[in-house]
Chains A and B, each alone.
Chain A
Amino acid sequence: KQEVTQIPAALSVPEGENLVLNCSFTDSAIYNLQWFRQDPGKGLTSLLLIQSSQREQTSGRLNASLDKSSGRSTLYIAASQPGDSATYLCAVRPVDTGGFKTIFGAGTRLFVKA
């Protein structure tokens, strides 16, 4: 059974710092991995989607990497800002479920101090 773990559960950093959020998954047979941002009262916003054949995706100050063989992904946030404060969720789509089921990690709560 696929399990997704995110470390750390919570993180507090000063503004301007570069930071890395970690995600690990137990079964490397996935279609893709997706990083979401969750803000209170605003649902989940998709940040980056990495297909299983890809190694990384970038969007602005965000860079997500995927090492499928080791079951790991990282989300790198450059020059963090207070507006980056949110919960970040990692999710994978296992091949054995047809790819439409999404298995989520519990998230990392990020607080960026001004």
Chain B
Amino acid sequence: DADVTQTPRNRITKTGKRIMLECSQTKGHDRMYWYRQDPGLGLRLIYYSFDVKDINKGEISDGYSVSRQAQAKFSLSLESAIPNQTALYFCATSDSRQGVRATEAFFGQGTRLTVV
């Protein structure tokens, strides 16, 4: 089983709908992240969380919200989906206790979201 699991893997939704992407991890890491990937733009950070009570905006947080339900779970919500949110979304984790490797990130398999 994957250490970082994203659900769903693929989703097609209509403009204006609310949708939630979920991420769970079995690595015991304290830090979790949500990224989106668009062709030609690499990955961009949407939100990140250092622990259950610590949520921070990334580069492109507008139109998104997150919830850290537990140390192992971090969900991303699109309150009212729009077509330009069509992208590949990745969840990632890292462990602040790993010294010089504390910033090394481990990624889920991605969720391909299409908003029509």
- Residues of A near any B CB (own CB < 8 A): 4, 9, 31-32, 34, 36, 41-46, 49, 51, 89, 91, 93, 99-102, 104-107
Contact = CB atoms under 8 A, between A and B. Distances in A.
A107 to B, nearest CB: 6
Given A44-B90, A100-B48, A49 B42 contact: no
A36 B104 CA distance: 11
B109 A41 contact: yes
B69 to A, nearest CB: 21
A51 B100 CA distance: 8
A39 B108 CA distance: 12
- Chief secondary structure at chain A's binding surface: strand
A46 B58 CA distance: 22
A101 B48 contact: yes
A31 B103 contact: yes
A90 to B, nearest CB: 9
Would you list the 3 A-B pairs with minimal beta carbon distance, nearest first? A104-B42, A43-B109, A44-B107
Nearest to B4: A43
Given A42-B109, A100-B31, A89 B101 contact: no
